[in-house]
Structure formats: structure tokens, C-alpha cells
A and B are shown apart, each in its own frame.
Chain A
């Protein structure tokens, strides 16, 4: 493998992603866990930059780190005594088997189409700019229906959350 800026960047972001993920599952402290999660998500944002998708990278940071992770920390901090957990999770064998299965499925699902079987026709080299992305999102031949469905889903989730959290007397 050639050692250039992209390779080094890939290595750094891999360390971020995997290291962050490792931190999430090993730390005993929920707050630190969310911080590690952010590190991991930051690494994924780096991948997007390496894949020439700066828009997705910015959205990844904005939505996952700026909004979702911050809300998770909020929830963690508002929940009492979750920062000093003494209980240990003991069912290690089932979780080990479960995660191994998922890993194998992913491994074969990704590598077999690439290395095994017949190679697909070389994928067209498309460079999608942010403009293309936006156009595809709202054009009738593009993703307008999934886009709208996602909006409806999110609105439904939000209304549901408000309904559950609402004080009955108010």
C-alpha cells in the first residue's frame, strides 16, 4: 500500500473510530462512554472527507456530535447515579457469540462481493457535489419519497415524545 496523505488519514481516522468504539464498551462511566462515542463518530466523519463527501462529513459532525451526542450526555447527566456503575455485565458468552455472528455476516457480506464471485462492471466514477445531492433529494426521480417518509417518521417520533413527556394535569 502506498504511503500518502490519504493512507495516513485513513489510519488516523480508523484509530479514532475503533478506539472510540473500544472506549464506549470498556469504560465504566456512562458520561465518558458518550464522549468516546463522539470520538468514534468523529472518525467516521473523517472517512467521509476521505471519500470526497465533505457535506456528509459536516452533517455527521453537526447531527451526531452536535445534536444527538449532546442530548445523550444530557440524558445521562439527568439520570441519577449512572456515572458510577458498580454492577458488571456477566453474560459475556451470549454477547460474544452475537457480536461474532454480526461481524462474520458483515465480513462476508462486504468481502465476498468484492473479492469472490464475479466482479461487477466497474462502477461509474461519479463525483457528487453538494448541489447534486440536494437535487437528488428533492427530484421526483430521486429520493423525494424516502425523504418525505423520513420527515413524517421524525415528526411522528417527536409528537410521540411530547405526548409521553407531557404532564397530564397541564
Chain B
């Protein structure tokens, strides 16, 4: 427990504080910082998301409050806070009020394990990757509780859909997460980043990245998987009865979750803070992580605003018949290839701290395997698509040929 006292803590000790108090204060500041970063970012993120969506839809977006609309979110927040806080009379009061809190907490808690720089992270858990999956399951729970406690059939229907979607897409998400974990030989996010010093995992295992990307898009309930809030079918989905800041918390949780997933993908697949000159200063390392995460975040926004919504049966079929088998095949291929290469001494036994040179044979083999699986998958998908199109044409011809009533 002695090594806990570093940085600010030693400063406080020198300032004449009690040892226990100094440790407690420095930990408190750390906790506040780690939980404060996402809380502040989300205010900006909502503005970014609205601006990007507006540009894609050929609009300008928020532009009235503050310079280029930057203060729009603050104005919205004040509006939400001053709104009437309604609890339906037949709602389950305790659960109804707890759901938004759990929903938001499930996203903020993920930030506890995110390594911002080699030296700055909330906590380096031995089970970091598993922690992320476990915490994410609270989000599912919050939506379920919100849908049920509202005592509204649209909310309940919305919740049913979401939970079916989230539980299903958790399977490929976890399998995809296994690829970086196996490559790094550790579940700690810090180790996973360090293991990418030679080669980013997105190059070693592009399929895992694609699966993770698609399923995290589904986990956040974004288009094309946004039937959580299919307005035309469900009015608003599970959060229909919520007003004011309670709705705002669901809203903020969703926006923050998308960005968190961007940062997570940067850490798991794009080498986190790795980049030119990252060792010079923690600020540069942090900037690299932010830039990578931000870029991935932007692509998810792009995707969200350009693709139409899928039907629930299509989403489920895509998950269970395509993503899950693919992710299992990917896991088998990655683990087998890595072990064989290590036995042949072509791959380093320990990826942490490996150089680019050592990683070259592994990279080539991994890319070839991933490419082969990918091409095979594309072939299957193309055949499926052609079949579906033929069926549709036959059906529409039969319809046109049928005598009208």
C-alpha cells in the first residue's frame, strides 16, 4: 500500500498533511478527475454530434447560442433542468428514478480503466477488458428497468427490443474483445496498449476490429441498429415517460457511450497513445489517444447518419448467422496462428515491448488469414444478397401478375 502515495500525495505529505489524509485526498482528486473528464466531454460531444449530423443532412446545425453554437448544449441543459420532473402515477417510483442514474453510471464507470497516457489512468485492473464487459451489462439492466418501471406499453416494447438486441450483440463483442486480449496475453488495458508497440492490433486482426466496431454500434443503439428508438413504431422507445434531466441522463449516456467506444477501440486496436513522440510528454500521448478515438467516433457518426434502419429480424439474423460464427472462426484462427508462429519462433513470445521488425512475419501471416476469412465471408454474403433479390423480384412479379380486386 506504500506505492499508492505518489505525485500529489507526496506533495501533500511535504505540506505537513497526515499520511492517511494525504493518500485519501490524492485518491479523491484522481477519482474526481477520471469521472470529470467524461462529464465535461459529453457537453461538447452533443454539440459535435449535432453539427456532424447537420452537415451530413445539408443543414447548418446549432448556430445561435455562443460562437458557432458552442453553448447550445449548455442552454439545453438549463432548459432540461428547469423542466417539470414528472413521475407517472402508476410508475414504480424507486426503479423509475434509479434507471437513468444506473444508465449514466454504466458508461462513466468504464472510464475508470481507460489509460489516457502511459502514466495517467484511473486504475490498471488485471481484468480491465472483462471489467468493461461487466460494467456494460449494467446499461442493459438500466434500459430494462426504465422500460418496465415506466408502466407504459411503448416503453416496455422498446425495452424488450433493446435487451434482445444488446444481449445478442454482446456475444460477438466479447469474442472480438478476446482477440486483443489473446494477442497481448493480458486483460489489462495498459498491457494491451503496450503490446501494440510493434504493430497495432487492427493490422494483426482486422476482422476482430470490424466485429467490435459493428457490435459496439449495435450496443449503443445507433443506426442501422437503432430500433431502440424507432420513432415511427414506438413513439420514443424505453425513455418515453422520462422528462427533464432524467431524460437528459439517458441522452447523455448514449452520446458518451459512443465516444467511449471510440476511445476503447483506439486503445484495443489502434495502439492507444502510441504515435510519434508519445514518450516525450504525457500531453502528446494523450493527444494521440484523443485524435484516434475522435476519428473513430466521427466514422460512427457518419455511419449513423447515412444508413437506414434494419428490421429486428434482419438484425438478429445478421448477428446470429453472420457475426457470431465469424467471431468464433476469427478467435480460432488468431489463437492457432499465434501459437504456431510462436512455436516456430517467428513471433515474439511476449508482444509487450516488441519492435516492428520482430512483428513482421506475424503481421503477414495474420493479414493473410484474416483476408482469407474475410473474402470467404464476402462470398457468402454476396450469394445471400443475390438470393434475397431474386426472391423479392419473383414476389413482386407475382404480385403484379395477380388480378386486381
Are B130 and A55 interface neighbours, CB within 8 A?
A: yes
Per-residue interface assignment for chain A, residues 53 to 85, with 1 indicating a CB less than 8 Å from any chain B CB and 0 otherwise: 011001101100111011001100100000000
Say whether B130 contacts A59, CB under 8 Å: yes
Q: Decide if B126 touches A130 in the complex (CB within 8 Å).
A: yes
A83 → B minimal CB distance (Å): 8
Which partner residue on chain A sits nearest B140 by CB separation?
A70
Known A67-B167, A74-B160, A77-B156; further 9 A-B contacts with Cβ < 8 A: A54-B125, A54-B131, A55-B126, A59-B130, A61-B137, A62-B134, A62-B137, A66-B170, A130-B127
Check if A16 is an interface residue, CB within 8 A of chain B.
no
Chain B CB within 8 A of A31 CB: yes
Q: Does B176 contact A (CB under 8 A)?
A: no
- Between-chain CB contacts (< 8 Å), 5 pairs: A35-B95, A61-B135, A65-B138, A66-B140, A73-B144
Q: What is the size, in residues, of chain B's interface with A at 8 Å between Cβ atoms?
A: 24
How far, in whole Å, are A62 and B141 apart by their CA atoms in the complex? 11
Q: Are B137 and A67 in contact (CB under 8 A)?
A: yes
Q: In chain A between 36 and 64, which residues have their CB closer than 8 angstroms to a CB of chain B?
A: 38, 54-55, 58-59, 61-62
Whether a CB of chain A sits under 8 angstroms from the CB of B341 is no
Distance of A77 Cα from B157 Cα, bound (Å): 11
Which residues does chain A contribute within 8 Å of B92, judged by CB atoms?
A: 29, 31-32
Interface size on A, residues (CB 8 A): 21
Residue-by-residue, is B107-133 near A (CB-CB < 8 Å gives 1, otherwise 0)?
A: 000000000000000000111001101
Whether, in the assembled complex, A129 has its beta carbon less than 8 Å from a beta carbon of chain B, the answer is yes
- Report how far A70 CA is from B168 CA in the complex, Å: 12
Whether the pair A35, B145 counts as a contact (CB closer than 8 A) is yes
Are the CB atoms of A54 and B127 closer together than 8 Å?
A: yes
- Taking CB as reference atom, which chain A residue is nearest B1? A5
User: How many angstroms between the C-alpha atoms of A130 and B188 in the bound complex?
Assistant: 11
Kindly state whether residue B187 has any CB partner on chain A within 8 Å: yes
Query: Which chain A positions have C-beta within 8 A of B137?
Result: 61-62, 65-67, 70
Contact flag A70-B130 (CB < 8 Å), given A32-B92, A61-B137, A130-B187: no
Interface assignment of B175: CB less than 8 Å from any CB of chain A: no
Query: Do residues B144 and A58 form an inter-chain contact, with CB atoms below 8 A?
Result: no
Structural contact, A38 and B141, CB atoms closer than 8 A: yes
- CB pair A58–B163 under 8 Å, yes or no, is no
The interface residues of chain B lying within 8 Å CB-to-CB of A74 are 160, 163
| Interface hub of A29, A55, A62 (most chain B Cβ within 10 A) | A62
CB distance from A137 to the nearest CB of B (A): 15
Cβ contacts under 8 Å, B163 to chain A: 70, 74
B127 CB contacts on chain A under 8 angstroms: 54-55, 58, 130
Q: With A32-B95, A70-B163, A70-B167 in contact, do A62 and B130 touch (Cβ < 8 Å)?
A: yes
A65–B140 CA distance with the chains assembled, in angstroms: 10
